[in-house]
Structure 1
C-alpha cells in the first residue's frame, strides 16, 4: 500500500462467512470500527487461524483477545500461570537482555537474507518467462506456418515448447528449404510414389557429321564451257535452284526468258556440278536430318516432363530455358534450310548443348526430390523423426543467443541463492544456540507471582472487590480466581470476567507460559475488549491498549530503536465509539500516517466490506497528501465534515449556521446579537480592495446575511426564514466563514477542526 510501512502481515484475504474476496493490506497499527454483527470477529478468527493471511506467522506468537479467549481461560479449574521476570537478579537479566539483543539481530539478519532469498527466487520464473517470450516470438513462423505438424503437441503450449527447445544439446543450422521439402513429404497425407522424369541426350552440334561444311561455301569445279560460264557469273546456286523448281515444267524452254534450250541442255547442266559438290551437298542434307531428329527427340521428352504429376515440381526456370532452347532450334532449322538452298552460303548454328545440360540439371534436382519423397513414403515414421530433429536443431540455433543468456542468468541467480542458503543455515544454527542459552538463564529469573500480584493490583485500582487471583493449591504454576473466604469464585458478572480475562491477556503479551519457553515477537489482536465494563474498567483497558500500541509504534520510529518493540503488529477491533476514540485519538497525526490504518466495517445484504479510511483534504494545509481519518465522529465533528463535503450553497449555509450556533452560542456562551456586534467591529476583515481601488463589500454582505439568522432558532431551522439563493459563490461563503473565526480571535479552532475531519 503506497505510503504505508509494511508489517509482518502484509495482506489478509477474507473469503468466509459474509466476506467475499475482501483484501486488507494492514500496517503496524490497525484500528477497525464497526457495529455488532458486521464481521469484526471474523477478521480476528482469520488472523488466529492464518486463513488468507500472508505470509506464514510461524516465527511469531499470535495472541488474540476475543470471546474464544475469555471462554478458554476464565474457568473454574483455573488459568495457566504467566511467567514474568523477577527483578531481583539483575546480573542474569542483563545477560538475558544481551543475548536477546543478539538473537534479535540474528533474526533481523535472517529476515533480511530471507527476503533477499525470496526476491532472488522470484527472478527465476521471470528469467524463464523472458526466455519463453523471446523464443516464442522468434519462432512464430516455424510454429504456425512452416512446420506446424512437426511440433503438433507443443506448438500451442509455450511452456512445453520451450522445455523441448532446451532439450536440444547440439543446435545446428539447416537450410529451411531443405527442411521444408523433407517436412512436406514426411508429414503429407499423400502417400503416392512417383516415377522419375527422363533426362535428354545432349545434342552437340559440332559432333554431328557434316557440321564443318556449314561454314564452307560449296561450289562446283567442273571445266565445261557452260560450267565456267555459270561460275563466272556466280550463279551456281541460282541455276541449280531454278532447275530444281522448273525443269519438269519448262520443257525445252528457258523458264526465265522462254528461249529455246539446246537439245543437250541437261547434259550441259549436269556438267556444271562435279562429284565433290554433290557429295558435300548431300552431307549437309544428312546433317540437317540428323540434327532435327536428335533435337526433336529431346524436345519431345522435355515437353512431356512438363506434365509430370509430382506436386512439388517447380517448372518456372525449366520452362524459361525450354522456350529458349526451342527458339534456338527454330533459328538453326532456318539457317540449315538456307544452307541447303544456297550451298555457297556460310552459316553458323546457335549452340544448344549448354541449355540442354542446364535442363538436365534441373531434371536431376527434381528427380532427387522425387527420390526423397519416395524414400520418405517408404520410411515415413523414421523420416518424420529425422525431420523433427532437424527442425528443433535449427530452431535451437536460431534462438541460441536467448538460450545462452537464459543459462547464464539462471546460473548467476542460483550461485547467489547457494551463498544465501549457506548464510541462512549458519544464522539458523546461531539462533537455535542463543534460544537454548536464553531458556536456561530464564529458568533462574522468571516466576508466576509477579503476574498474579500485578493483576490483583489492577483489580483493586479498578474498584473490583470480593475476589482475587491466587496460585492454585497443588499446582503452583496455575492461577485461580477465589473469593475472600478462599472458595472458588463463581457467578462472576460478564464485566468482571471480561476485565480479568483482559488483564490476563495483557500479561500473556508481556510474559511467557513456560519458564524455559522462548519469548517470541508478538502479533496482537484485540476484539471488543470493553464489553459489559463500567467506565473505570474501560479507562484502564484503554490505557493498557494505548501502552501496547506504543510498543508496536516503536517499530515505526527509528529514534526509538532502544525501546521495547516485541509487538510487531496490532489489530484493534471494536463497536464502542468511546473506546475507539480513547485508544486512537493520538494516532491521527500525519506523522503516524505511515504506520497507522483506520478501517470501517460495513454490512449490507449479508455482505461485509472493509473501507480503508484515507482521504486528501482539499481544504487542509496539505491538500495533495493522503491522510488517515477516523470513521467515528461526534455530532459537532460531523457538522465540520458536512461543511467540507457540501456541494451546494444552500447546504453549505445551513451547515455553517449550525456550526456557528453550536460553537459560539452553546459552547462559548455568546448571544446571537452579541456575536453579530463583535463581528461588525472587525468588518475591515470582510472588505477587500478591487483592482481599480474601489471597495469590494461582498464578504461583508455575506456575513450580514449569515448573522441575521444565527441564534434565531437554536434547536432547528426556521422554515419561514431559510430561503437562500443557490447561485451564491461557494468560495466566497467559505472565505466568509473562515473570517468569522478570525474576527472572533479563534482561527486556531477553525484550523483544528478542518484538520481533524
Structure 2
C-alpha cells in the first residue's frame, strides 16, 4: 500500500505530498491543476522516466520503503493509457478471468490464495520483527558512535597538533567509528600516553626546532698513583738537629713545626712556645730550622700542589643547564642534579682531607673513591644522550616519526574505548545472528508462497479464459443503451479482442465512436483489466487502481452510470478486493456522487464504516505551483450551491441538469417542509400535466426511475427551467429562487 506520494515536476514546482492511511482516496482538481501528472507518474513508476526523477513514493514494503512490493501492481486509467490501448493498437490484449465451470480447480485456487494470504501476513510479521531488531541495534550503534565521536571534538580544531591524525575522518561519524573498529586492541599499554604524544608533537612540528648536540660525559682524572702514595707518606723534620731526639721522642714534628712558626713571628724578647720562658730567639730559631730542612719544605710545597690540582679538577666539572631548559630532558633533571651534587660533595670531602694533610704533614691520609658517583652521573648523561640521539633521528625522519606517533595515538584511543567497542561487537554478533535467522525464516516462507503460486498457476490454466471479460463488457454496453458496436474475440491463439460495428464495416472503429462512447468502452475495458490478468499463467497481485477523470466535458450523459460503476466496482461492494484506489476528477458533482449524498457526522460511523470512508483531497494550482490539501466531507455534502451552478448553465448536459433539479427540490423541500420529492408533486398546485411531466422527466434522467431515457430531443431547457421556477413560485419561495438563480457556474 502507498502511504505517501511526493511530487516535484510540471505544475508541482515545490514538493507536494499526499499522505494517506486509507484504501479509498478521492482527489478533486480543476483542469490544469496537475491530475494528469499525478496519474501519469504512478503509471510510469517503474519506467525510470526522467520527468519524474524528483518524485517518490513511500510504501508499506518492509524490504524497500521507496518501492511497491513484488506482490503489488498499479493499474492506471488516464488519457495516456487510453491512447496506447485504443488509438495506437487495432486490437486489444485479452483479459483472463476464471470461469466457474471447473469447481475443483476453483476450490484449489481459493485454498491456495487463502494459504498464500496467511503466509504473506506471516512474512510481513517476520519482516516487521526483522526491521524492529535492526532499528533497536541501529539505536545502540548510534549511541556508541556518538560516544566515540567525542574523540573528534577533543582532539581536532584550533591549534591542536593531533588534528593532523584525523585526515578524512572529521565529517562522518560512521566512517570515523569504522576507523576505530579497524584498530586492533593493543596487547599492553602503548609506549607513549596521549600527553606524551602531544608534547612530542609540539617539539617535532615546531618550525624552529633544531637538533640537540650530545652531552659530554664527566671526566675526573683525580690524583696520580705517585700523588696518592705521597699522601700516605709521613712528612717529618731533620734527624741531625739538637732537637731531633726530642722530635723523635715526641713523634709530633707537626706540633714543633707550628711552634717554629710562632717563634719566628715574635719580637726580640721572645717566649718559648712550649714552656713560655724567655728564650734566646736567634739561638732557638737556628736550632728549629735545623730540624725542618729543605726537603721538608719541598714536601709541603708538593702537598699544596696536589691540593691545587685536585681543586681545579673539581671546579672544571661543569653543570649542564640543558636538563632544565629543554622539555625533552626535564625528566632527567632531578636525577642529574642529585648525582652531580653527590659527586661534588665527595670530591670536596677529599679536598678537605688533602687540606688536613697540609696542616699535619706527618699524618698519612687516603682519599675516598668517587667511581660510584661518577658512574651514576655519567649513566644519567648517557640516558639523556640516548634520548637526544632518538630525538635527532626523529627530526631527520620527521614523516616516519609522525606516522609512529599517529599509530600510538590511535592505539591509545582504541584502548580508551575498549569497553564500549567490545560491548558493541558482542551485540553486533548477536544482531547478525538474529538477522540471519529472520532471513532464513523469511526465505522459507517465500518458498512456501511460491509453492502456492505454482498451485494457482497450474489450476488457473484449467479455468482461465478471456470469454468472461468479453461477455461482461458487451453486457454493460447493452445496459447503458449502447448497441451500435461491441467487443469480440479477434485471435484465440493470441488472446486478443477487437471492436466491431454491428451493421457496417469500419477499419478503425474506435476513431468512429463519439467521445462518450470512447470513454465508456475504454473504461469498461479498464474495469475488466483490473478484475482479470494479462495471461493465464500470471499470478494475481494486490492491485492499486488509479482512475483519472473518467468524466470528460463531452460525456456528462454517462456521469451517473460511471459513478455507479465506480462505486460498485471499486469503492463500495468490492472494497476488500483492492489493495488501494485513487480516483481523480475535475467534476465536483462526480466527486460528490462518489463521496455519497447522505449527511452524517463521522462520530456516527463505526470503525468498519470509517475504514471504508475515503480520504478526500483537493489539488490547488497557484503561481507558486500545485499543492495537495485535505478536504472534509462536509465541504462537499453542504455544497447546495453547486447544484444551482449546474442548473443555471444551459450548456450542461440534460441528464446532469435534470439530476441537479431533482436534488435541489428534494433537499430544499426536505429541509424546509420535511417533504420528500414525491410529496411535493402530490400537492394540488402541481397536479397540472406539465408539472407531472417535469417530475417524471427529472426522475428518469436522474436514474431515480428504473426506466432510462436517452432521447435528448425531449429536453427543452427553457420549458423545464420555467417549470423548475414555478415549483418554487407556487410553493411561496420566489425570493429564494431569485437569489439562487444568480449563482454562477462552478469552475
Q: Return the TM-score normalized by structure 2.
A: 0.65
Contact 1:203 1:352 in 2 (8 A): no
Separation in 1, partners of 2:479, 2:155: 83
Whole-Å separation in 1 of the counterparts to 2:533 and 2:560: 26
- The answer to whether the aligner puts 1:408 opposite 2:426 as a matched pair is yes
Distance 1:634 1:74, change over 3 A: farther
Cα 1:175/1:437, change in 2 over 3 Å: same
Confirm whether residue 568 of structure 1 aligns to residue 579 of structure 2. yes
Matched, 1:72 2:90: no
Correspondence for 2:471 among 453, 459, 463: 453
1:120-135 alignment runs, 5 A limit? 132-135=145-148
1:247-293 deviation per Cα after TM superposition (whole angstroms, max 9, x unaligned): 56967778999x99733353577699999999998898577545423
- Give 1:506-525 correspondences, 5 Å limit: 506-525=527-546
Matches within 5 A, 1:356-371: 359-371=377-389
2:2 corresponds to which of 9, 21, 37? 9
Distance 2:391 2:486 in 1: 98
**Aligned-pair CA distance for 1:374:** 3.9
Structure 1 SS opposite 2:2: coil
Once the 2 structures are TM-superposed, how far is the Cα of residue 429 of structure 1 from its aligned partner?
2.9
The answer on whether the counterparts of 1:600 and 1:611 sit within 8 Å (CA) in structure 2 is yes
**Distance change in 2, residues 1:108/1:304 (3 Å):** closer
Matches of 1:588 and 1:238, distance apart in 2: 140
In the TM superposition, 1:457-496 aligns within 5 A as 457-462=475-480, 464-475=481-492, 477-485=495-503, 487=505, 489=509, 491-496=512-517
Shift of the 160–266 alpha-carbon distance from structure 1 to 2, 3 Å rule, reads farther
8 Å Cα contact 2:222/2:313 also seen in 1: no
Matches within 5 A, 1:277-288: 288=307
Question: Could you say which residue in structure 2 is the equivalent of 1:529?
Answer: 550
Counterparts of 1:651-730 in structure 2, within 5 Å, are 667-668=671-672
1:636-670 superposed Cα distances (whole Å, 9 cap, x missing partner) = 799xxxxxxxxxxxxxxxxxxxxxxxx99995369
Aligned 1:50-65 pairs, distance under 5 A = 50=45, 52-54=56-58, 55-57=66-68, 58-65=70-77
3-state SS of 1:10 partner: strand
Decide which of 34, 37, 40 is 1:39's aligned counterpart: 34
**Aligned partners of 1:603, 1:400: CA distance in 2, in Å?**
59
Shift in alpha-carbon separation, 1:148–1:470, aligned structure 2, 3 A: closer
Question: Do the aligned partners of residues 261 and 9 (structure 1) sit closer, same or farther apart at CA in structure 2, a change above 3 Å counting?
Answer: farther
Residue 698 of structure 1: aligned partner: none
| Native 8 Å contact 2:350 2:368 kept in 1 | no
Corresponding residue to 1:263 among 282, 305, 313: 282
Query: What's the counterpart of residue 314 of structure 2?
Result: 295
Q: Unaligned regions of 5+ residues in structure 2, if any?
A: 46-54, 59-65, 643-666, 675-732, 740-747
Superposed CA RMSD:
5.6
Distance (Å, rounded) in 1 between the aligned partners of 2:468 and 2:323: 109
8 Å contact kept, 1:11–1:26 = yes
SS at match of 1:580: helix
Mean CA deviation greater in 142-151 or 407-416: 142-151
Relative to structure 2, which stretch is displaced further, 263-272 or 437-446? Answer: 263-272
Query: Contact 2:486/2:502 (CA < 8 Å) preserved in 1?
Result: no
Report SS of the residue matched to 1:264. helix
- Aligned with 1:443: secondary structure? helix
Contact preservation (8 Å) 2:515, 2:555: no
The offset of 1:442, in angstroms, is 1.7
Instruction: Extract unaligned runs of 5+ from structure 1.
Output: 1-7, 555-564, 614-627, 639-662, 671-710, 718-757
Inter-CA distance 140–436: structure 2 relative to 1 (3 Å threshold):
same
Helix, strand or coil for the counterpart of 1:43?
helix
Aligned-residue offset at 1:484: 4.3
**Length-normalised TM-score, structure 1:** 0.64
- Residues 41 and 527 of structure 1 are in contact (CA less than 8 Å); yes or no, is this contact kept in structure 2? yes
Cα pair distance change 1:635/1:108, threshold 3 Å: closer
How far the C-alpha of 1:191 sits from its partner, in A, is 9.1
**Residue number in structure 2 paired with 1:676:** none
